[in-house]
């Protein structure tokens, strides 16, 4: 079932990959480093705004949907979540507008932030609907809506940057329009399911107790992933923010897409296993999920570090690429630790409904990241920022693993991790030892190194049977043979 759900979400992740990499490729050519820096700062503000106001209710929608469905209280659950979202949207829009009026920033940056905050509100409403679809295991419907939204956001955003004077505001304007179109299509059917439902104060308290700490923990996580951009702007300049954002996004987006893909498939199944089968079933599903994530993400992080130079030359504009290539290996390591922490280890707290501990754990890595940036940025420049990020995520991962087991004993599959690292070592040795010609174009070198690495890793993974891939491959081949025989 896990693999079937994984493939069901594949179109969404293809769209995310195209939008993510296409955005970096095009925006670093259409925008100057300073403009791209403003885009990076506005994106961080938008993410913080979304997290503060909306993430907790999205989390509650996902976590309690299966229980409400089992108890035949789904209309009440949907009514409570949607009415709360509409109130939060009104409050967020009001406070955001007031802040834009009085903040001592340039008019141009206020305009960018205005588009970003409006996009965040509509995206949050769409997210609530999509979380409902995902919790209901409606994989096809979820994939269709999210694919449309991501593709439209990307296409419209790039078009607006290229054809209008919106500049760094263009991508946010594209997000705004795309979210509005997706809501027109998918919100009415979800509201129809909520018909006849009632909202109760007791249920809202449950939502707040569960989702509030998740939002607070994510705010701490944002301090690790985004606070450094504001510190770079303060200690260095906005153009440096643009360079840092380009390298950071290229590495982290690659891993985020894979972790989110795995999380989309695994999280609803793990929650359902716990609610319907108990702790033993949930642990079994979590073990499978970790093996699958390791299979996909360990080689991705290793590969990014190996091909950082040709990848930067191909994907990033000339004004950004040299420094970005130096950042990518560090962010690959940080992104891997962040993904394991967020999409696996911290599931212990959500499954145990002890989300209050998430925020408590994340405070220490967040403060460490800010402190290290303040010490290292003036001395090492952008390199100091990435070192601070790696150290902070390492601490967060260790704390999540040690403390999380006190509340829900998630498996720690060291054997699966070790076998996957062996396959990655084979891949790295092959790529590093191969005699690559110095005069090859960057694209040819990137394709050759990536192809060799993928081939070596694939062969090693099959030989070691990582995540039971031999059985899966045999099953797929057998299905194809049967289909061919039937058609013949």
Say whether 113 sits in a helix, a strand or coil. Answer: helix
CA–CA gap between residue 242 and residue 250 (Å, rounded): 12
As given in the structure block, the two tokens for residue 410 are: 């998630």
Closest to 236 measured CA to CA, from 36, 42, 382, 34: 382
Please say if the pLDDT value at position 488 is more than 80: no
- With bands split at pLDDT 50, 70 and 90, how would you rate the model's confidence at 138? confident
Predicted local confidence at residue 486, as pLDDT: 61
Is-contact 91 124, C-beta < 8 A? no
Please say if the pLDDT value at position 432 is more than 70: yes
| pLDDT tens, residue by residue, 59-89 | 888 878 878 887 888 888 899 989 999 999 9
Residue 410 within a domain: yes
Burial 364-388 (b: 16+ CB within 10 A, else e): ebbebbbebbeebbeeeebebbbbb
Let me know whether 305 and 286 are in one domain: yes
Let me know whether 165 and 88 are in one domain: yes
- With bands split at pLDDT 50, 70 and 90, how would you rate the model's confidence at 484? low
- Among the residue ranges 106-120, 228-242, 470-484, the one predicted with the least confidence is 470-484
Residue 93 within a domain: yes
Let me know whether 275 and 414 are in one domain: yes
Let me know whether 162 and 39 are in one domain: yes
Please say if the pLDDT value at position 5 is more than 80: no
Please say if the pLDDT value at position 275 is more than 80: no
Residue 103 within a domain: yes
Let me know whether 231 and 103 are in one domain: no
Q: What's the mean pLDDT in 410-423?
A: 90
CA–CA gap between residue 472 and residue 259 (Å, rounded): 20
Please say if the pLDDT value at position 10 is more than 70: no
Predicted local confidence at residue 193, as pLDDT: 84
Let me know whether 361 and 439 are in one domain: yes
State the CB neighbour count (10 A cutoff) for residue 189.
Answer: 11
The last residue of a domain, from among 199, 230, 263: 199
Residue 333 within a domain: yes
Please say if the pLDDT value at position 8 is more than 90: no
As given in the structure block, the two tokens for residue 100 are: 């834009």
Give helix 238-277 / helix 10-30 axis angle, nearest 10°.
170
Let me know whether 42 and 91 are in one domain: yes
Predicted local confidence at residue 306, as pLDDT: 95
Residue 74 within a domain: yes
Q: How many domains does the chain have?
A: 2
Let me know whether 249 and 380 are in one domain: yes
Predicted local confidence at residue 354, as pLDDT: 82
Residue 350, domain extent: 206-472
| pLDDT tens, residue by residue, 141-163 | 888 888 899 999 999 999 999 99
Closest to 274 measured CA to CA, from 258, 289, 254: 289
Let me know whether 90 and 155 are in one domain: yes
Residue 488 within a domain: no
Predicted local confidence at residue 89, as pLDDT: 95
CA–CA gap between residue 262 and residue 288 (Å, rounded): 11
Tell me the average pLDDT of the chain.
87
As given in the structure block, the two tokens for residue 130 are: 């999509």
Predicted local confidence at residue 253, as pLDDT: 82
Which percentage of the chain shows pLDDT scores above 70? 95
Let me know whether 166 and 217 are in one domain: no
Is-contact 79 195, C-beta < 8 A? no
Give, for 226, the enclosing helix (H) or strand (E).
none
Predicted local confidence at residue 392, as pLDDT: 93
- With bands split at pLDDT 50, 70 and 90, how would you rate the model's confidence at 264? low
CA–CA gap between residue 18 and residue 385 (Å, rounded): 27
Closest to 362 measured CA to CA, from 134, 83, 138, 51: 51
The last residue of a domain, from among 151, 172, 199: 199
- With bands split at pLDDT 50, 70 and 90, how would you rate the model's confidence at 111? very high
Let me know whether 195 and 213 are in one domain: no
Q: What's the mean pLDDT in 18-28?
A: 90
Is-contact 244 232, C-beta < 8 A? yes
CA–CA gap between residue 423 and residue 427 (Å, rounded): 6
Residue 174 within a domain: yes
Let me know whether 118 and 225 are in one domain: no
As given in the structure block, the two tokens for residue 457 are: 């890793």
Please say if the pLDDT value at position 310 is more than 90: yes
Which of the 8 DSSP states describes residue 346?
T
Which of the 8 DSSP states describes residue 169?
G
Which of the 8 DSSP states describes residue 408?
S
Please say if the pLDDT value at position 6 is more than 70: no
Is-contact 62 267, C-beta < 8 A? yes
- With bands split at pLDDT 50, 70 and 90, how would you rate the model's confidence at 337? very high
Residue 235 within a domain: yes
- With bands split at pLDDT 50, 70 and 90, how would you rate the model's confidence at 96? very high
- With bands split at pLDDT 50, 70 and 90, how would you rate the model's confidence at 428? very high
């Amino acid at each position: 079932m896990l693999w079937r759900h994984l493939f069901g979400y594949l179109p969404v992740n293809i769209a995310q990959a195209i939008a993510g990499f296409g955005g970096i490729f095009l925006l670093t050519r259409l925008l100057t480093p300073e403009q791209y820096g403003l885009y990076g700062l506005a994106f961080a503000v938008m993410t913080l705004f979304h997290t503060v106001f909306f993430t907790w209710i999205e989390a509650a929608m996902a976590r309690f949907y299966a229980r409400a469905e089992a108890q035949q209280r789904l209309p009440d659950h949907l009514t409570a979540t949607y009415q709360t979202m509409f109130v939060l949207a009104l409050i967020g829009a009001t406070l955001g507008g007031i802040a834009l009026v009085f903040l001592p920033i340039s008019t141009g940056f206020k305009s960018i932030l205005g588009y970003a905050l409006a996009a965040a509100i509509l995206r949050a409403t769409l997210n609530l609907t999509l979380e409902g679809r995902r919790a209901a295991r409606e994989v096809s419907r979820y994939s269709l809506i999210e694919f449309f939204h991501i593709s439209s956001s990307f296409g419209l955003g790039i078009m607006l940057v290229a054809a209008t004077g919106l500049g760094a505001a263009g991508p946010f304007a594209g997000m705004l329009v795309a979210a509005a179109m997706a809501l027109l299509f998918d919100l009415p059917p979800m509201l129809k399911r909520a018909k006849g439902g009632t909202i109760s104060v007791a249920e809202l308290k449950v939502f707040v107790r569960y989702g509030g700490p998740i939002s607070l923990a994510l705010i701490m996580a944002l301090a690790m992933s985004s606070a450094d951009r504001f510190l770079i702007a303060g200690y260095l300049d906005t153009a440096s923010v643009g360079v840092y954002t380009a390298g950071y996004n290229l590495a982290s987006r690659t891993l985020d897409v894979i972790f989110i893909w795995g999380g989309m498939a695994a999280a609803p199944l793990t929650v359902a296993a716990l609610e319907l089968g108990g702790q033993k079933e949930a642990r079994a599903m979590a073990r499978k999920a970790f093996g699958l994530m390791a299979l996909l993400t360990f080689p991705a992080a290793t590969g990014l570090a190996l091909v950082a130079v040709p990848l930067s030359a191909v994907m990033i504009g000339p004004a950004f690429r040299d420094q970005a290539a130096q950042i990518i290996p560090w962010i690959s390591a940080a992104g891997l630790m962040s993904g394991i922490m967020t999409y696996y280890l911290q599931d212990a707290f959500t499954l145990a409904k002890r989300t209050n501990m998430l925020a408590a754990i994340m405070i220490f890595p967040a403060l460490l990241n800010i402190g290290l940036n303040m010490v290292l940025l003036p001395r090492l420049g952008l390199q100091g920022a990435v070192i601070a990020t790696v150290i902070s995520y390492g601490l967060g991962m260790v704390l999540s693993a040690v403390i999380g087991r006190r509340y829900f004993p998630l498996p720690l599959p060291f054997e699966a991790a070790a076998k996957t690292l062996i396959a990655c070592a084979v891949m790295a040795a092959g790529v590093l030892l191969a005699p690559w010609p110095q005069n090859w174009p960057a694209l040819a070198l990137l394709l050759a190194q990536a192809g060799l690495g993928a081939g070596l890793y694939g062969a090693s993974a099959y030989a070691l049977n990582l995540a039971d891939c031999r059985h899966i491959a045999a099953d797929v081949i057998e299905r194809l043979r049967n289909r061919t025989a039937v058609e013949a």
